[in-house]
Chains A and B, each alone.
Chain A
Amino acid sequence: MHVVLRPGPGKASMLGNEAIVRGALEAGVAVATTYPGTPSSEIGDTFYEIYTEAGIYFEYSTNEKVALEVAAAAAISGLRSIVAMKHVGLNVAADSFMTLGYTGVRAGMVIVSADDPSMHSSQNEQDNRLYGVMAHVPVIEPSSPQEAKELTKIAFEISERFEVPVMLRTTTRISHMRGIVNLGNLRLNAFNKKKFQKDPMRFVVVPATARRNRIRQLERLKRIKEFSDEFKYNRIEVYGEDPSVGIVASGASYGYVVDVIRSKGIPAKVFKVTMSYPIPERRIAEFISTVDKLIVFEETEPVIERQIRELAQRLGIKIIIHGKEDGTVRYHYELNPDEIYRVLLKVLKGETSQKSPLKVEIKLPSRPPTFCPGCPHRATYYAAKRVFGTNVVAPTDIGCYTLGFAKPFNMGDLLFSMGSSFGSASGLAHFIEEPVVAFIGDSTFYHAGIPGLINAIVHRTPAVFVVMDNATTAMTGGQPTPEVPSKIKAEGLVSIPLERIMDGLGIDYEVVDPYDVPRTIEAFRKAKEYVSKEKKPFVIISRRLCALEYARKARKEGIKIIPYVINQEKCTKCYACVKTFSCAAFTILEDGSVHIRPELCIGCGACQYVCPFNAIERAGGE
């Protein structure tokens, strides 16, 4: 039994993301939706594993906007819903999100925004609490897996009390923190069909209704502000004797603050702000009147700090406030215990903390992430490079295949967001002299790539558009896609093959298997010619199951993997394989000989076409 379904009471170790699912199940959630994205993915993955057993509705939606709309439809129909996404996902969903802050909802709705300070796995470190400020949607922030569970539960109550969605904002360090969680009682089987209560004057947003909603939104915010003062998770803790310094902290920063002041014995009054928008104004005002100095620690933007500065100015409270705005606390990247200690030493004692005297005298080789052994993307890029060389501009997209921008392929010149490869390429090829080849993954294509391709067709953009179809959303852990929508037989979902989309759009295309390297090279050659002759777009669908998924499948179904080996008699140590194909299973021993590590090789055979001396053979000489 999955840990999130274990009956309470008791304790279990859980990832922050699992604790969020547990909290939702304890709150009687009926509908859960998501589009996967690090660091939010395990929320959806956990729901996917248990949703049938838990008696709820769950879906991997096409993108975050659809996920949010499905969850909102549920909440407006009277079903408690939760939608989870990574921070940049809310950019995709922002259009509906912003107006949802006006209309509000009926049953509780929780929007989980998993932010990624320090960009462990993201293109930016935007702080989505600012979306809460913009839409007047309350934002709460957990500091541990235990709190992630509790606050998810409470978020549903807050949402219902004020008829507005609540944003649960986590960061990587909370979503991906494992800790001990106290189990409460589960409320399973919450999904049952409702009768829709019509109220178009509220839920159809034309100017006349929108104006009414706007007034209601501001009145609601006033009531939420009063609630924030009563909210017991906004709390004051006193450490040590006669503290004169006040610390305001939220989210992951709160944990660092407590660890540091306890281990170093620094007396301090700590205001743990859990509702970071709107802040508990009355209690914060009282708090800052009792301390000489105030330091604010929070992840990414100074959202709480700015509210406190504004509050102090408005109430005429004279206090020195240290934070990100005055440069005391580092603005960029996530905080950590060392940064907290550095700031405390500086503010309290005017001291600079001592850096560790230990250092390494040797240069460490860098170890960037790479394609997995047998990854079909490697073979696709190899073929593209063989045809286009370096005289090409390659808009790329978000997924494992983004790594194609690195050596040895250098296929990747432009990337903003999900789907941006096809969007930007649809214009780029009109503007530059070089040939344009755009790369996108299957899941990303369905998510936001289709409008870019339509634009290219309509505007006759002379570029090659490559959909790298590995039949899964690989980067985030292997979730389904609209083409392969289910891993469960009984789900009865409908597949939309890429071919059907291309046929419908009326664009010429070719489907290749990247493991068949010669044919894939031929396809790129033909596509290049087509585009330069016809002056219009051409699509290559490069289709082969994700190597990780294949390895998993092989293990499960008992398929024997026969690795490839390098025939040392034929090998001339030219290193063409290592330098131009760079499979992660290759290794060079100290005598300079090249080998394929049998425990890593998945037997795809793509590398055999790369060796100019035919030295790469299937083990056993078949």
Chain B
Amino acid sequence: MEVYNVVLAGVGGQGIITVGKIIVDAALREGKNAVMSEVHGMAQRGGSVLSEVRIGDAMSSIIPSGEADLVIGFELIEPLRYVEKFGERTILLVNNDRIMPLPTLLGEEEYPSSEVIVSEMKKLTKRLYVINASKLAEEAGSPLSMNMVMLGAALSLGMPLKPETVKEVLRERFRGKVLEINEKALDLGFSTVEKMLKSVD
């Protein structure tokens, strides 16, 4: 049974659920099955958010341990909370934006340096892609389009969906200026990672 598993990790308000929905809708357009878990309520208020998307022949929306194909971190440290999802084939794509949680602002807990976090990530996977998605989103026209940058980047890392299908879904969901910015953000994410892949080759 062929299932492609995506972990979406970040902070409430980053547009994570929207990305999941777009993936599911794009899969449906390509005649594929897809399932997704969402979180609502208490967990959303600026807390850690985890959503899991599975494209293919899966019954349940929870990814078994070690079976993530792609982990997307919308915030730098968040993907490290789901270490059990990492396995041999896992690719990690992460936005290097650091969002300080309240206990850190209160000086009670420490947010490790970016270097320390990245070196932990390198222990989990050889295929690590760190991008400045928040900055790319501003280039695209709005910091809120960061989620689309990440989605575009994910498409260049083997997510089994055609970029054109994803764009069709975007055109169905958004209008006018928002659509324009989101499409630009998607392209920027895609091309940024494409370049990283080429420079490795």
Q: What residues of chain A have their CB less than 8 Å away from a CB belonging to chain B?
A: 11-13, 15, 38-39, 41-42, 120-121, 143-144, 173, 176-180, 252, 254-256, 258-260, 262-263, 336-338, 341, 356, 358-372, 400, 403, 407-408, 475-477, 575, 578-579, 582, 584, 586-588, 599
A603 shortest CB reach to chain B, Å = 17
- Cβ contact of B33, chosen from A180, A360, A365, A475, cutoff 8 A: A180
Of the listed residues A11, A120, A360, the one surrounded by the most CB atoms of chain B closer than 10 A to its CB is A360
Give the chain A neighbours of B101 by CB distance below 8 A. Answer: 365-368
Residues of B101-115 whose CB lies within 8 A of A: 101-112
Of the listed residues A173, A341, A362, the one surrounded by the most CB atoms of chain B closer than 10 A to its CB is A362
- Cβ contact of B80, chosen from A12, A143, A364, A368, cutoff 8 A: A364
- Would you list 18 pairs from A and B whose C-beta atoms are within 8 A, ordered by A residue? A173-B62, A176-B39, A177-B35, A177-B60, A178-B34, A259-B59, A263-B64, A337-B62, A338-B65, A341-B64, A356-B86, A356-B87, A358-B123, A365-B77, A367-B103, A369-B42, A407-B102, A407-B103
Give the chain A neighbours of B123 by CB distance below 8 A. Answer: 358, 361
B191 shortest CB reach to chain A, Å = 24
Bound complex: CA of A158 vs CA of B8, how far in Å?
A: 39
Give the chain B neighbours of A258 by CB distance below 8 A. Answer: 59-60
Stretch at the interface among B19-27, B155-163, B180-188: B19-27
A11 shortest CB reach to chain B, Å = 6
Give the chain B neighbours of A11 by CB distance below 8 A. Answer: 28
B40 interface contact, C-beta 8 A = yes
Bound complex: CA of A362 vs CA of B121, how far in Å?
A: 11
- Cβ contact of A367, chosen from B37, B47, B61, B124, cutoff 8 A: B47
Question: Is A13 a contact partner of B48 (Cβ separation < 8 A)?
Answer: no
Question: Is A38 a contact partner of B109 (Cβ separation < 8 A)?
Answer: no
Question: Is B102 a contact partner of A368 (Cβ separation < 8 A)?
Answer: yes
- Closest B residue by C-beta to A143: B59
- Closest B residue by C-beta to A179: B35
- Closest A residue by C-beta to B87: A356
B200 interface contact, C-beta 8 A = no
Give the chain A neighbours of B120 by CB distance below 8 A. Answer: 360-362
- Whether A13 touches B24, Cβ cut-off 8 Å, given contacts A356-B86, A364-B81, is yes
- Whether A368 touches B28, Cβ cut-off 8 Å, given contacts A179-B36, A358-B124, A588-B105, is no
- Whether A477 touches B40, Cβ cut-off 8 Å, given contacts A177-B35, A366-B109, A578-B105, is yes
B81-103 toward A: CB 8 Å interface, digit per residue (1/0)? 10110110000000000001111
Bound complex: CA of A588 vs CA of B107, how far in Å?
A: 10
Residues of B4-46 whose CB lies within 8 A of A: 11-12, 20-21, 24-25, 28, 33-46
- Whether A260 touches B106, Cβ cut-off 8 Å, given contacts A38-B40, A121-B41, A179-B36, is no
- Cβ contact of B47, chosen from A255, A256, A263, A370, cutoff 8 A: A370
Bound complex: CA of A362 vs CA of B11, how far in Å?
A: 19
A588 shortest CB reach to chain B, Å = 6
Bound complex: CA of A507 vs CA of B105, how far in Å?
A: 41
Question: Is B83 a contact partner of A177 (Cβ separation < 8 A)?
Answer: no
B169 shortest CB reach to chain A, Å = 10
Bound complex: CA of A11 vs CA of B64, how far in Å?
A: 27
Question: Is B41 a contact partner of A38 (Cβ separation < 8 A)?
Answer: yes
B58 interface contact, C-beta 8 A = yes
Question: Is A587 a contact partner of B105 (Cβ separation < 8 A)?
Answer: yes
- Whether A362 touches B112, Cβ cut-off 8 Å, given contacts A178-B35, A178-B38, is yes
Count, A-B residue pairs, CB within 8 A:
184
Give the chain B neighbours of A476 by CB distance below 8 A. Answer: 41
Given contacts A367-B11, A372-B46, 9 further A-B contacts (CB under 8 A): A39-B41, A173-B62, A178-B61, A179-B34, A255-B59, A258-B59, A356-B65, A372-B45, A582-B105
Bound complex: CA of A477 vs CA of B44, how far in Å?
A: 10
Bound complex: CA of A370 vs CA of B45, how far in Å?
A: 6
Question: Is A259 a contact partner of B41 (Cβ separation < 8 A)?
Answer: no
Give the chain B neighbours of A13 by CB distance below 8 A. Answer: 21, 24-25, 28, 34
Bound complex: CA of A459 vs CA of B41, how far in Å?
A: 36
Question: Is B42 a contact partner of A38 (Cβ separation < 8 A)?
Answer: yes
Bound complex: CA of A444 vs CA of B103, how far in Å?
A: 29
B144 shortest CB reach to chain A, Å = 8
- Whether A582 touches B59, Cβ cut-off 8 Å, given contacts A11-B28, A176-B37, is no
Bound complex: CA of A541 vs CA of B33, how far in Å?
A: 50
Bound complex: CA of A224 vs CA of B33, how far in Å?
A: 35
Bound complex: CA of A599 vs CA of B86, how far in Å?
A: 33
Bound complex: CA of A374 vs CA of B77, how far in Å?
A: 25
Question: Is A120 a contact partner of B61 (Cβ separation < 8 A)?
Answer: no
- Closest B residue by C-beta to A359: B83
B76 shortest CB reach to chain A, Å = 11
Question: Is B41 a contact partner of A365 (Cβ separation < 8 A)?
Answer: no
Bound complex: CA of A15 vs CA of B11, how far in Å?
A: 21
Give the chain A neighbours of B83 by CB distance below 8 A. Answer: 356, 358-360
- Cβ contact of B77, chosen from A336, A364, A575, cutoff 8 A: A364
Bound complex: CA of A418 vs CA of B109, how far in Å?
A: 33
Question: Is B12 a contact partner of A260 (Cβ separation < 8 A)?
Answer: no
- Whether A365 touches B64, Cβ cut-off 8 Å, given contacts A13-B21, A13-B25, A370-B102, is no
Question: Is A41 a contact partner of B84 (Cβ separation < 8 A)?
Answer: no
Of the listed residues A15, A143, A337, A403, the one surrounded by the most CB atoms of chain B closer than 10 A to its CB is A337
Question: Is A180 a contact partner of B34 (Cβ separation < 8 A)?
Answer: yes
Give the chain A neighbours of B24 by CB distance below 8 A. Answer: 13, 178-180
Question: Is A178 a contact partner of B41 (Cβ separation < 8 A)?
Answer: no
Bound complex: CA of A263 vs CA of B56, how far in Å?
A: 13
Give the chain A neighbours of B109 by CB distance below 8 A. Answer: 363, 365-366
Question: Is B106 a contact partner of A176 (Cβ separation < 8 A)?
Answer: no
- Cβ contact of A408, chosen from B1, B104, B106, B117, cutoff 8 A: B106
Give the chain B neighbours of A42 by CB distance below 8 A. Answer: 40
Give the chain A neighbours of B78 by CB distance below 8 A. Answer: 367
- Closest A residue by C-beta to B113: A590
